[in-house]
Structure 1
Amino acid sequence: MLIGHIKEIVRHPVKSLRGEAVQQSKIMDYGLYGDRSHAYLDQTKETDFLTIAQFQEMVRYQARFVGEESLDKYPNVEVITPEGEVFDWQDQGLIEEMEDKSQRKISTRQYTPSHVPIGPIAVEHVLLATDASLDKLEELWGKDRVDLRRFRPNLFISLLDKKPFIEEEWIGRRIKIGQEVEMEFVGHCKRCMIITVDPEDAERDPSLHKTVIKERKNNFGVYASVIKTGDIHLDDEVHLVE
Protein backbone atom coordinates (compact mmCIF):
# COMPACT_ATOMS: atom_id res chain seq x y z
CA MET A 1 0.00 0.00 0.00
CA LEU A 2 1.41 3.35 -1.05
CA ILE A 3 1.55 5.66 2.00
CA GLY A 4 3.70 8.53 0.78
CA HIS A 5 7.00 9.77 -0.60
CA ILE A 6 10.41 10.64 0.78
CA LYS A 7 10.43 14.40 1.25
CA GLU A 8 13.86 14.77 2.87
CA ILE A 9 16.91 12.55 3.38
CA VAL A 10 19.27 13.83 6.06
CA ARG A 11 22.49 12.32 7.35
CA HIS A 12 24.73 13.63 10.11
CA PRO A 13 28.37 12.91 9.24
CA VAL A 14 29.39 14.14 12.71
CA LYS A 15 27.26 13.19 15.69
CA SER A 16 25.32 16.18 17.13
CA LEU A 17 26.41 18.62 14.42
CA ARG A 18 23.88 19.92 11.90
CA GLY A 19 23.25 17.36 9.18
CA GLU A 20 23.24 17.62 5.42
CA ALA A 21 20.24 17.06 3.17
CA VAL A 22 21.08 14.76 0.26
CA GLN A 23 19.31 13.75 -2.94
CA GLN A 24 20.08 10.07 -2.49
CA SER A 25 21.78 7.72 -0.07
CA LYS A 26 22.91 4.17 0.31
CA ILE A 27 21.15 2.37 3.13
CA MET A 28 23.66 0.23 4.99
CA ASP A 29 23.00 -2.34 7.70
CA TYR A 30 23.45 0.44 10.27
CA GLY A 31 21.33 3.04 8.44
CA LEU A 32 22.19 5.90 6.08
CA TYR A 33 25.70 5.79 4.66
CA GLY A 34 27.97 7.81 6.93
CA ASP A 35 25.34 8.75 9.46
CA ARG A 36 27.03 9.56 12.80
CA SER A 37 30.21 7.99 11.41
CA HIS A 38 32.38 10.66 13.04
CA ALA A 39 32.11 12.02 16.56
CA TYR A 40 33.71 14.38 19.02
CA LEU A 41 34.48 12.95 22.45
CA ASP A 42 34.23 14.84 25.71
CA GLN A 43 37.45 14.01 27.52
CA THR A 44 36.14 15.57 30.73
CA LYS A 45 33.50 12.79 30.78
CA GLU A 46 35.88 9.84 30.28
CA THR A 47 35.44 9.62 26.49
CA ASP A 48 31.66 10.06 26.38
CA PHE A 49 30.37 11.54 23.14
CA LEU A 50 30.18 15.32 23.12
CA THR A 51 26.58 16.23 22.25
CA ILE A 52 24.19 19.15 22.15
CA ALA A 53 23.21 18.29 25.72
CA GLN A 54 26.66 19.44 26.88
CA PHE A 55 27.43 22.01 24.18
CA GLN A 56 24.29 23.56 22.72
CA GLU A 57 26.04 25.50 19.96
CA MET A 58 26.92 22.23 18.20
CA VAL A 59 23.56 22.66 16.42
CA ARG A 60 25.02 25.66 14.56
CA TYR A 61 28.05 23.78 13.18
CA GLN A 62 27.25 21.91 9.96
CA ALA A 63 29.07 18.78 8.83
CA ARG A 64 29.21 17.56 5.23
CA PHE A 65 31.01 14.95 3.17
CA VAL A 66 33.20 16.30 0.38
CA GLY A 67 34.43 14.00 -2.38
CA GLU A 68 33.63 10.60 -3.81
CA GLU A 69 31.70 8.22 -1.59
CA SER A 70 33.18 4.76 -1.30
CA LEU A 71 32.41 1.58 0.61
CA ASP A 72 36.10 1.36 1.51
CA LYS A 73 36.64 4.85 2.85
CA TYR A 74 34.53 7.87 3.70
CA PRO A 75 35.05 11.14 1.82
CA ASN A 76 36.64 14.01 3.70
CA VAL A 77 34.42 15.65 6.31
CA GLU A 78 34.18 19.43 6.44
CA VAL A 79 32.62 21.52 9.18
CA ILE A 80 31.11 24.94 8.55
CA THR A 81 31.18 27.11 11.67
CA PRO A 82 28.37 29.50 12.69
CA GLU A 83 30.52 32.30 11.26
CA GLY A 84 30.76 30.55 7.88
CA GLU A 85 34.37 29.39 8.09
CA VAL A 86 35.16 25.95 6.68
CA PHE A 87 37.51 23.48 8.36
CA ASP A 88 38.46 19.85 8.12
CA TRP A 89 36.59 18.23 11.00
CA GLN A 90 39.87 17.36 12.76
CA ASP A 91 41.52 20.75 12.19
CA GLN A 92 43.22 21.79 15.39
CA GLY A 93 41.97 25.36 15.05
CA LEU A 94 38.37 24.14 14.88
CA ILE A 95 38.83 21.85 17.85
CA GLU A 96 40.43 24.63 19.89
CA GLU A 97 37.50 26.93 19.05
CA MET A 98 35.00 24.32 20.19
CA GLU A 99 37.02 23.58 23.32
CA ASP A 100 37.06 27.26 24.20
CA LYS A 101 33.30 27.64 23.67
CA SER A 102 32.35 24.41 25.46
CA GLN A 103 34.99 24.59 28.19
CA ARG A 104 35.75 20.93 27.56
CA LYS A 105 38.71 18.95 26.26
CA ILE A 106 37.76 17.37 22.92
CA SER A 107 39.13 14.42 20.96
CA THR A 108 37.79 12.65 17.86
CA ARG A 109 36.61 9.22 16.78
CA GLN A 110 35.56 7.82 13.42
CA TYR A 111 34.19 4.54 12.15
CA THR A 112 34.30 2.74 8.81
CA PRO A 113 31.69 2.69 6.02
CA SER A 114 30.95 -0.94 6.78
CA HIS A 115 30.29 -0.49 10.49
CA VAL A 116 28.88 2.22 12.73
CA PRO A 117 27.91 0.70 16.09
CA ILE A 118 24.86 1.51 18.16
CA GLY A 119 25.98 4.36 20.38
CA PRO A 120 26.76 7.00 17.80
CA ILE A 121 23.45 6.06 16.15
CA ALA A 122 21.28 6.45 19.22
CA VAL A 123 19.00 3.42 19.58
CA GLU A 124 18.15 2.04 16.16
CA HIS A 125 19.28 2.34 12.58
CA VAL A 126 17.01 5.00 11.09
CA LEU A 127 14.76 7.71 12.55
CA LEU A 128 11.66 8.67 10.56
CA ALA A 129 9.12 11.47 10.93
CA THR A 130 6.10 12.55 8.88
CA ASP A 131 4.78 15.88 7.65
CA ALA A 132 1.35 15.33 9.19
CA SER A 133 2.83 14.73 12.63
CA LEU A 134 5.09 17.77 12.40
CA ASP A 135 2.16 19.99 11.38
CA LYS A 136 0.03 18.66 14.25
CA LEU A 137 2.80 19.18 16.79
CA GLU A 138 3.17 22.76 15.58
CA GLU A 139 -0.56 23.21 16.18
CA LEU A 140 -0.33 21.64 19.65
CA TRP A 141 2.65 23.81 20.59
CA GLY A 142 0.88 26.91 19.33
CA LYS A 143 3.89 29.11 19.78
CA ASP A 144 6.03 29.13 16.66
CA ARG A 145 6.98 27.17 13.58
CA VAL A 146 8.51 23.84 14.57
CA ASP A 147 11.88 23.39 12.87
CA LEU A 148 12.21 19.75 11.78
CA ARG A 149 15.93 19.90 12.51
CA ARG A 150 15.17 19.93 16.24
CA PHE A 151 14.19 16.25 15.90
CA ARG A 152 17.09 15.17 13.67
CA PRO A 153 15.23 12.54 11.58
CA ASN A 154 17.00 10.73 8.77
CA LEU A 155 13.89 10.35 6.63
CA PHE A 156 10.99 12.79 6.44
CA ILE A 157 7.91 11.30 4.79
CA SER A 158 5.17 13.22 3.02
CA LEU A 159 2.03 11.17 3.67
CA LEU A 160 -0.81 10.72 1.21
CA ASP A 161 -3.30 10.48 4.07
CA LYS A 162 -2.34 13.34 6.40
CA LYS A 163 -3.16 11.53 9.63
CA PRO A 164 -0.94 12.79 12.48
CA PHE A 165 1.15 10.18 14.29
CA ILE A 166 -0.12 7.33 12.10
CA GLU A 167 3.50 6.08 11.95
CA GLU A 168 3.22 5.03 15.60
CA GLU A 169 0.46 2.60 14.59
CA TRP A 170 2.84 0.95 12.13
CA ILE A 171 5.34 -0.21 14.76
CA GLY A 172 5.99 -3.89 14.08
CA ARG A 173 5.28 -3.52 10.35
CA ARG A 174 7.58 -3.07 7.37
CA ILE A 175 7.90 -0.41 4.71
CA LYS A 176 9.53 -0.58 1.29
CA ILE A 177 11.28 2.52 -0.05
CA GLY A 178 11.94 2.74 -3.77
CA GLN A 179 12.93 -0.47 -5.50
CA GLU A 180 15.21 -2.12 -2.95
CA VAL A 181 15.15 -0.94 0.61
CA GLU A 182 12.99 -2.45 3.33
CA MET A 183 12.78 -1.40 6.97
CA GLU A 184 10.75 -2.42 9.98
CA PHE A 185 9.28 0.09 12.41
CA VAL A 186 10.54 -1.01 15.83
CA GLY A 187 9.67 1.65 18.38
CA HIS A 188 8.91 5.19 19.48
CA CYS A 189 11.57 7.87 19.72
CA LYS A 190 11.64 9.16 23.30
CA ARG A 191 12.67 12.78 23.33
CA CYS A 192 15.26 14.63 25.44
CA MET A 193 16.33 18.24 25.98
CA ILE A 194 17.94 18.44 22.54
CA ILE A 195 14.59 19.36 20.93
CA THR A 196 14.49 22.49 23.12
CA VAL A 197 17.56 23.92 21.33
CA ASP A 198 16.81 26.19 18.36
CA PRO A 199 18.99 25.09 15.38
CA GLU A 200 19.40 28.71 14.27
CA ASP A 201 20.63 30.44 17.44
CA ALA A 202 21.15 27.55 19.92
CA GLU A 203 18.79 29.19 22.40
CA ARG A 204 16.68 26.90 24.59
CA ASP A 205 12.90 26.89 24.97
CA PRO A 206 11.64 24.08 27.24
CA SER A 207 8.00 24.62 26.22
CA LEU A 208 8.27 22.45 23.10
CA HIS A 209 9.56 19.49 25.12
CA LYS A 210 6.81 20.05 27.69
CA THR A 211 4.25 19.90 24.87
CA VAL A 212 5.68 16.64 23.55
CA ILE A 213 5.64 15.17 27.05
CA LYS A 214 2.07 16.29 27.75
CA GLU A 215 0.49 15.60 24.37
CA ARG A 216 2.52 12.67 23.04
CA LYS A 217 3.92 10.92 26.15
CA ASN A 218 7.34 12.28 25.13
CA ASN A 219 7.30 10.50 21.75
CA PHE A 220 7.91 12.02 18.35
CA GLY A 221 9.08 10.02 15.36
CA VAL A 222 9.71 6.29 15.06
CA TYR A 223 12.82 4.15 14.79
CA ALA A 224 13.26 1.57 12.06
CA SER A 225 15.68 -1.31 11.59
CA VAL A 226 17.11 -2.03 8.16
CA ILE A 227 15.87 -5.31 6.68
CA LYS A 228 17.13 -4.92 3.09
CA THR A 229 19.91 -2.55 2.09
CA GLY A 230 20.10 -0.58 -1.16
CA ASP A 231 19.76 2.90 -2.58
CA ILE A 232 17.05 5.45 -1.83
CA HIS A 233 16.30 8.74 -3.55
CA LEU A 234 14.36 11.89 -2.83
CA ASP A 235 10.71 11.45 -3.88
CA ASP A 236 10.90 7.64 -3.74
CA GLU A 237 7.57 6.00 -3.04
CA VAL A 238 7.08 4.55 0.44
CA HIS A 239 4.90 1.44 0.63
CA LEU A 240 3.56 -0.26 3.73
CA VAL A 241 4.22 -3.96 3.22
CA GLU A 242 1.06 -6.01 3.59
Structure 2
Amino acid sequence: MRVTELWRFPVKSLQGERLDEAALGELGIEGDRRYAIFDLGTGFGLTARREPQMLFASARTTPDGVEVVLPDGSVAADDAALSAWLGRPVALRSMAEVEERRYENPDDTETEAAASWGPFTGAGGAFHDSAGATVTVLSTASMDGEPTRRFRANVVVDEAGEDGLVGHAVRIGAATVAVTTPVPRCVMVTRAQPDGIEVDREVLRGIHREHGGNLAVGGSVSVPGTVRVGDELVTAEPLT
Protein backbone atom coordinates (compact mmCIF):
# COMPACT_ATOMS: atom_id res chain seq x y z
CA MET A 1 0.00 0.00 0.00
CA ARG A 2 1.65 3.23 -1.17
CA VAL A 3 0.71 6.90 -1.12
CA THR A 4 -0.50 8.15 -4.51
CA GLU A 5 -1.95 11.52 -3.47
CA LEU A 6 -1.66 13.92 -0.53
CA TRP A 7 -4.27 16.63 0.11
CA ARG A 8 -4.51 19.65 2.36
CA PHE A 9 -7.74 21.63 2.78
CA PRO A 10 -6.77 24.97 4.38
CA VAL A 11 -10.40 26.15 4.76
CA LYS A 12 -13.11 23.73 5.79
CA SER A 13 -15.41 22.77 2.87
CA LEU A 14 -13.46 24.67 0.21
CA GLN A 15 -11.30 23.05 -2.46
CA GLY A 16 -7.78 22.30 -1.29
CA GLU A 17 -4.20 21.79 -2.37
CA ARG A 18 -2.64 18.63 -3.79
CA LEU A 19 0.86 18.16 -2.36
CA ASP A 20 3.97 16.18 -3.22
CA GLU A 21 4.93 16.02 0.44
CA ALA A 22 3.38 17.04 3.73
CA ALA A 23 4.44 17.48 7.32
CA LEU A 24 2.24 15.52 9.73
CA GLY A 25 1.94 16.83 13.27
CA GLU A 26 -0.39 16.88 16.25
CA LEU A 27 -3.22 18.51 14.28
CA GLY A 28 -2.81 16.40 11.15
CA ILE A 29 -1.30 17.64 7.90
CA GLU A 30 0.32 21.02 8.48
CA GLY A 31 -2.13 23.72 7.38
CA ASP A 32 -5.08 21.35 6.99
CA ARG A 33 -8.47 22.76 8.05
CA ARG A 34 -6.89 25.57 10.05
CA TYR A 35 -9.62 28.00 8.93
CA ALA A 36 -13.39 27.89 8.61
CA ILE A 37 -16.14 30.29 7.53
CA PHE A 38 -18.71 31.17 10.20
CA ASP A 39 -22.25 32.47 9.81
CA LEU A 40 -22.37 35.61 11.97
CA GLY A 41 -26.13 35.36 12.37
CA THR A 42 -26.41 31.79 13.63
CA GLY A 43 -22.89 31.18 14.94
CA PHE A 44 -22.67 27.93 12.98
CA GLY A 45 -19.58 27.01 11.04
CA LEU A 46 -20.57 26.78 7.39
CA THR A 47 -19.93 23.63 5.38
CA ALA A 48 -20.97 22.42 1.95
CA ARG A 49 -23.66 20.35 3.64
CA ARG A 50 -25.61 23.58 4.13
CA GLU A 51 -23.92 25.72 1.45
CA PRO A 52 -23.00 23.46 -1.51
CA GLN A 53 -21.59 26.40 -3.45
CA MET A 54 -18.63 26.46 -1.04
CA LEU A 55 -17.09 23.60 -3.01
CA PHE A 56 -16.70 25.93 -6.00
CA ALA A 57 -14.26 28.18 -4.15
CA SER A 58 -10.76 27.14 -3.20
CA ALA A 59 -8.24 27.93 -0.50
CA ARG A 60 -4.49 28.09 -0.69
CA THR A 61 -1.84 28.48 1.95
CA THR A 62 0.20 31.70 1.97
CA PRO A 63 3.14 32.87 4.08
CA ASP A 64 0.68 34.98 6.07
CA GLY A 65 -2.02 32.33 6.48
CA VAL A 66 -4.55 31.57 3.77
CA GLU A 67 -6.41 33.15 0.88
CA VAL A 68 -9.74 32.23 -0.65
CA VAL A 69 -10.22 32.17 -4.42
CA LEU A 70 -13.87 32.67 -5.35
CA PRO A 71 -15.61 30.80 -8.20
CA ASP A 72 -15.04 33.74 -10.58
CA GLY A 73 -11.28 33.51 -10.02
CA SER A 74 -10.99 36.60 -7.82
CA VAL A 75 -9.32 36.51 -4.43
CA ALA A 76 -11.66 37.43 -1.56
CA ALA A 77 -10.13 40.56 -0.07
CA ASP A 78 -12.00 40.39 3.23
CA ASP A 79 -15.07 39.09 5.07
CA ALA A 80 -17.26 41.51 3.13
CA ALA A 81 -16.29 39.78 -0.12
CA LEU A 82 -17.07 36.38 1.39
CA SER A 83 -20.40 37.69 2.69
CA ALA A 84 -21.36 39.05 -0.72
CA TRP A 85 -20.53 35.71 -2.33
CA LEU A 86 -22.48 33.61 0.18
CA GLY A 87 -25.37 36.07 0.55
CA ARG A 88 -25.17 36.36 4.32
CA PRO A 89 -22.85 37.96 6.89
CA VAL A 90 -19.93 35.58 7.38
CA ALA A 91 -16.38 35.69 8.66
CA LEU A 92 -13.27 33.65 7.96
CA ARG A 93 -11.77 32.58 11.27
CA SER A 94 -8.63 30.70 12.24
CA MET A 95 -8.75 27.81 14.69
CA ALA A 96 -7.15 30.05 17.34
CA GLU A 97 -10.07 32.50 17.13
CA VAL A 98 -12.95 30.08 17.67
CA GLU A 99 -13.78 28.01 20.74
CA GLU A 100 -17.31 26.80 19.90
CA ARG A 101 -17.46 24.67 16.75
CA ARG A 102 -21.05 23.84 15.85
CA TYR A 103 -22.13 22.75 12.39
CA GLU A 104 -25.33 21.48 10.78
CA ASN A 105 -26.13 18.11 9.23
CA PRO A 106 -29.41 16.59 7.93
CA ASP A 107 -30.63 13.23 9.22
CA ASP A 108 -32.73 12.85 6.07
CA THR A 109 -30.04 12.56 3.42
CA GLU A 110 -32.50 11.85 0.60
CA THR A 111 -34.66 14.99 0.79
CA GLU A 112 -32.67 17.13 3.25
CA ALA A 113 -36.01 18.33 4.62
CA ALA A 114 -35.76 21.47 6.73
CA ALA A 115 -36.93 19.68 9.87
CA SER A 116 -34.18 17.06 9.55
CA TRP A 117 -31.31 19.50 10.00
CA GLY A 118 -29.66 19.45 13.41
CA PRO A 119 -26.46 20.68 15.06
CA PHE A 120 -23.35 18.73 15.93
CA THR A 121 -20.13 19.75 17.66
CA GLY A 122 -16.84 19.46 15.82
CA ALA A 123 -13.37 18.88 17.17
CA GLY A 124 -11.22 21.40 18.98
CA GLY A 125 -7.96 22.48 17.41
CA ALA A 126 -8.14 22.28 13.63
CA PHE A 127 -11.64 22.30 12.13
CA HIS A 128 -12.11 18.56 11.77
CA ASP A 129 -15.51 16.99 12.32
CA SER A 130 -13.96 14.45 14.70
CA ALA A 131 -10.97 14.77 16.99
CA GLY A 132 -10.19 11.11 16.31
CA ALA A 133 -9.73 11.60 12.57
CA THR A 134 -7.24 14.41 12.02
CA VAL A 135 -5.65 12.35 9.22
CA THR A 136 -7.78 10.29 6.83
CA VAL A 137 -6.65 7.46 4.55
CA LEU A 138 -8.62 6.17 1.55
CA SER A 139 -7.78 3.78 -1.28
CA THR A 140 -8.54 4.34 -4.94
CA ALA A 141 -10.26 0.94 -4.96
CA SER A 142 -12.75 2.01 -2.30
CA MET A 143 -13.65 5.12 -4.32
CA ASP A 144 -15.03 2.81 -7.04
CA GLY A 145 -14.21 5.18 -9.89
CA GLU A 146 -15.49 8.35 -8.23
CA PRO A 147 -13.26 11.45 -8.28
CA THR A 148 -10.89 11.70 -5.32
CA ARG A 149 -12.20 15.16 -4.45
CA ARG A 150 -15.63 13.82 -3.51
CA PHE A 151 -14.19 12.30 -0.36
CA ARG A 152 -11.66 14.92 0.78
CA ALA A 153 -9.20 12.41 2.21
CA ASN A 154 -5.72 13.52 3.23
CA VAL A 155 -3.84 10.39 2.14
CA VAL A 156 -4.87 8.39 -0.94
CA VAL A 157 -3.31 4.95 -1.37
CA ASP A 158 -3.11 2.57 -4.30
CA GLU A 159 -4.28 -0.70 -2.74
CA ALA A 160 -7.51 -1.73 -1.03
CA GLY A 161 -7.51 -2.78 2.61
CA GLU A 162 -7.51 0.47 4.57
CA ASP A 163 -10.28 -0.81 6.83
CA GLY A 164 -7.78 -3.33 8.18
CA LEU A 165 -5.58 -0.49 9.44
CA VAL A 166 -8.07 0.40 12.19
CA GLY A 167 -6.64 -0.47 15.58
CA HIS A 168 -3.03 -0.27 14.46
CA ALA A 169 -0.14 2.15 14.44
CA VAL A 170 0.77 2.78 10.80
CA ARG A 171 4.07 4.25 9.62
CA ILE A 172 3.76 6.54 6.60
CA GLY A 173 7.10 7.95 5.58
CA ALA A 174 8.69 9.41 8.70
CA ALA A 175 5.35 9.77 10.54
CA THR A 176 3.27 7.30 12.52
CA VAL A 177 -0.52 7.51 12.60
CA ALA A 178 -2.66 5.75 15.20
CA VAL A 179 -5.60 4.62 13.06
CA THR A 180 -8.62 4.37 15.31
CA THR A 181 -11.87 4.76 13.40
CA PRO A 182 -13.78 4.28 10.16
CA VAL A 183 -14.97 7.60 8.70
CA PRO A 184 -18.77 7.97 8.50
CA ARG A 185 -20.08 9.72 5.39
CA CYS A 186 -22.78 12.35 4.93
CA VAL A 187 -24.38 14.41 2.15
CA MET A 188 -21.05 16.12 1.42
CA VAL A 189 -20.10 13.25 -0.90
CA THR A 190 -23.20 13.90 -3.05
CA ARG A 191 -22.40 17.54 -3.83
CA ALA A 192 -21.39 19.00 -7.17
CA GLN A 193 -17.84 20.27 -7.56
CA PRO A 194 -15.78 21.91 -10.33
CA ASP A 195 -14.59 20.03 -13.41
CA GLY A 196 -17.87 18.29 -14.12
CA ILE A 197 -18.44 16.52 -10.80
CA GLU A 198 -22.24 16.44 -10.64
CA VAL A 199 -24.75 16.05 -7.83
CA ASP A 200 -25.11 12.30 -7.28
CA ARG A 201 -27.09 10.91 -4.36
CA GLU A 202 -26.31 7.37 -5.45
CA VAL A 203 -22.76 7.86 -4.14
CA LEU A 204 -23.98 8.02 -0.54
CA ARG A 205 -26.54 5.27 -1.09
CA GLY A 206 -23.74 3.03 -2.34
CA ILE A 207 -21.55 3.80 0.66
CA HIS A 208 -24.37 2.78 2.99
CA ARG A 209 -25.19 -0.31 0.94
CA GLU A 210 -21.64 -1.58 0.46
CA HIS A 211 -19.64 -0.09 3.34
CA GLY A 212 -22.12 0.37 6.18
CA GLY A 213 -22.05 4.15 5.80
CA ASN A 214 -18.28 4.48 6.24
CA LEU A 215 -15.58 5.21 3.67
CA ALA A 216 -11.91 5.85 4.60
CA VAL A 217 -10.28 5.45 7.99
CA GLY A 218 -9.05 8.12 10.34
CA GLY A 219 -6.58 8.56 13.13
CA SER A 220 -4.20 10.90 14.87
CA VAL A 221 -0.47 11.45 14.51
CA SER A 222 1.53 9.77 17.27
CA VAL A 223 4.96 10.41 15.74
CA PRO A 224 5.33 13.59 13.65
CA GLY A 225 7.21 13.46 10.39
CA THR A 226 7.22 14.12 6.66
CA VAL A 227 5.16 12.03 4.25
CA ARG A 228 5.75 11.98 0.49
CA VAL A 229 3.91 10.61 -2.51
CA GLY A 230 5.31 7.12 -3.11
CA ASP A 231 5.86 6.34 0.58
CA GLU A 232 4.78 2.91 1.75
CA LEU A 233 2.30 2.37 4.58
CA VAL A 234 3.72 -0.10 7.08
CA THR A 235 1.40 -1.54 9.71
CA ALA A 236 3.14 -1.67 13.07
CA GLU A 237 1.92 -2.94 16.44
CA PRO A 238 -1.77 -3.03 17.42
CA LEU A 239 -2.94 -0.11 19.52
CA THR A 240 -3.52 -0.76 23.19
TM-score of the aligned structures, taking structure 2 as reference length:
0.80
| Residue 20 (structure 1) aligns with | 17
| Residue 158 (structure 1) aligns with | 158
Partner amino acid, structure 1, of 2:94: Q
| Residue 118 (structure 2) aligns with | none
Distance 1:188 1:97, change over 3 A: same
Contact 1:57 1:202 in 2 (8 A): no
**C-alpha distance in 1 between matches for 2:200 and 2:139:** 23
Contact 2:27 2:126 in 1 (8 A): no
Which one of the candidate residues 160, 184, 187 is aligned to 2:181?
187
**C-alpha distance in 2 between matches for 1:227 and 1:221:** 19
**C-alpha distance in 2 between matches for 1:186 and 1:221:** 11
Contact 2:172 2:232 in 1 (8 A): yes
The 5 A counterparts of 1:114-129 are 117=124, 120-123=127-130, 124-129=133-138
The superposition leaves residues 57-89 of structure 1 with CA deviations (integer Å, 9 ceiling, x where unpaired) of: 11110100123xxxxxxx33122222222234x
Which stretch shows the higher mean deviation, 21-30 or 91-100?
91-100
Distance 1:51 1:202, change over 3 A: farther
The superposition leaves residues 98-127 of structure 1 with CA deviations (integer Å, 9 ceiling, x where unpaired) of: 232xxx321221035xxx835711112111
Distance 1:170 1:76, change over 3 A: closer
The superposition leaves residues 4-51 of structure 1 with CA deviations (integer Å, 9 ceiling, x where unpaired) of: 221111111111111111122111111011111011112232x22110
Aligned residues: 208
| Residue 72 (structure 2) aligns with | 83
Which one of the candidate residues 72, 78, 81 is aligned to 1:94?
81
**C-alpha distance in 2 between matches for 1:202 and 1:51:** 18
Contact 1:59 1:202 in 2 (8 A): no
Contact 1:5 1:157 in 2 (8 A): yes
| Residue 55 (structure 1) aligns with | 51
The superposition leaves residues 128-170 of structure 1 with CA deviations (integer Å, 9 ceiling, x where unpaired) of: 1012222xx33xxxxxxx11111110111122xxxx4x21122
**C-alpha distance in 1 between matches for 2:201 and 2:73:** 28
| Residue 66 (structure 1) aligns with | 62
1:130 aligns with 2:114: no
**C-alpha distance in 2 between matches for 1:106 and 1:121:** 19
SS of 1:86's partner is: coil
TM-score of the aligned structures, taking structure 1 as reference length:
0.79
Runs (4+) of structure 1 exceeding 4 A deviation are none
Contact 1:41 1:108 in 2 (8 A): yes
Contact 2:3 2:156 in 1 (8 A): yes
Which one of the candidate residues 234, 238, 242 is aligned to 2:229?
234
**C-alpha distance in 2 between matches for 1:224 and 1:190:** 13
**C-alpha distance in 2 between matches for 1:119 and 1:153:** 15
Unpaired runs of 5+ in structure 1?
A: 68-74, 139-145
| Residue 205 (structure 2) aligns with | 210
Unpaired runs of 5+ in structure 2?
A: 97-122
